[in-house]
């Protein structure tokens, strides 16, 4: 007994998955294969109308611009909250740790670009930077933060 074969012309193929389909794209005219079921040639896959593609590209570009503004607002709020609520001692330690990261990055970049002939010098300098970063982080987290009003 031969397995049943499905009629390819009876199926409708959609280029947009159902989870991402928008209401405007559903109203766009698409070619269906049910009208050509009498012919022996397979029906072409459906395509999205040019107007629907243009609307989709407008939607993605406007959402990326809105997303950038949202990220700017989030970063601004985080920085403002950090500056308002973080004690001066913690800000000083954070600045020193950022300096240590910059020094470590410069040492690594110099090693990659200029070579590492005295490798032990690079290794000792980089290890000292990483060690200082770890010890500073431990110092920062070993003492509980004091409220802003306390001196």
How many domains does the chain contain in total? Answer: 1
pLDDT at 103: 96
Instruction: Please report whether residue 13 resides in a domain.
Output: no
Instruction: Please report whether residue 67 resides in a domain.
Output: no
**For residue 66, how many C-alpha atoms fall within 13 Å in the half-sphere facing its CB?**
6
Residues in Cβ contact with 90 at an 8 Å cutoff, skipping those fewer than 6 apart: 140, 145
Condensed to tens digits (0 to 9), the pLDDT of residues 4-39 reads 555 555 555 555 555 554 555 444 444 444 444 444
pLDDT at 140: 83
- Segments forming the whole domain that contains residue 94: 88-141
User: In this structure, how many other beta carbons lie within 10 angstroms of the beta carbon of residue 103?
Assistant: 16
pLDDT at 66: 73
Least confident piece of the model among 57-61, 114-118, 132-136: 57-61
Residues in Cβ contact with 8 at an 8 Å cutoff, skipping those fewer than 6 apart: 33, 42, 43
Residue 70 pLDDT > 70: yes
Instruction: Please report whether residue 94 resides in a domain.
Output: yes
The model's confidence at residue 65, banded by pLDDT at 50, 70 and 90, is low
Residue 51 pLDDT > 70: no
For the record, the structure tokens of 89 come out as: 């001692």
DSSP state of 42: P
Residue (of 78, 85, 125) closest to 105 by Cα position? 125
Q: How far apart are CA 56 and CA 53, in angstroms?
A: 5
Instruction: Please report whether residue 133 resides in a domain.
Output: yes
Instruction: Please report whether residue 113 resides in a domain.
Output: yes
Residue (of 31, 25, 64) closest to 47 by Cα position? 31
Least confident piece of the model among 25-29, 72-76, 116-120: 25-29
Residues in Cβ contact with 93 at an 8 Å cutoff, skipping those fewer than 6 apart: 136, 139, 140
Instruction: Please report whether residue 6 resides in a domain.
Output: no
- pTM of model > 0.85: no
pLDDT, mean over the chain: 73
Residue 78 pLDDT > 60: yes
Contact 90, 150 (CB under 8 A): no
Instruction: Please report whether residue 103 resides in a domain.
Output: yes
Instruction: Please report whether residue 52 resides in a domain.
Output: no
Contact 59, 35 (CB under 8 A): no
């Amino acid at each position: 007994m031969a397995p049943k074969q499905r009629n390819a012309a009876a199926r409708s193929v959609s280029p947009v998955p159902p989870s991402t389909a928008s209401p405007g794209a559903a109203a766009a005219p698409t070619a269906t294969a049910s009208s050509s079921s009498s012919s022996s040639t397979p029906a072409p896959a459906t395509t999205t109308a040019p107007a629907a593609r243009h609307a989709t590209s407008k939607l993605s570009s406007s959402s990326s611009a809105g997303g950038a503004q949202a990220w700017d607002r989030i970063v601004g709020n985080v920085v403002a909250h950090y500056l308002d609520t973080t004690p001066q001692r913690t800000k000083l330690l954070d600045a020193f740790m950022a300096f240590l990261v910059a020094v470590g990055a410069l040492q690594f970049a110099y090693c990659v670009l200029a070579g590492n002939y005295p490798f032990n010098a690079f290794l000792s300098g980089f290890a000292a930077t990483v060690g200082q970063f770890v010890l500073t982080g431990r110092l920062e987290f070993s003492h509980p933060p004091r409220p802003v009003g306390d001196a």
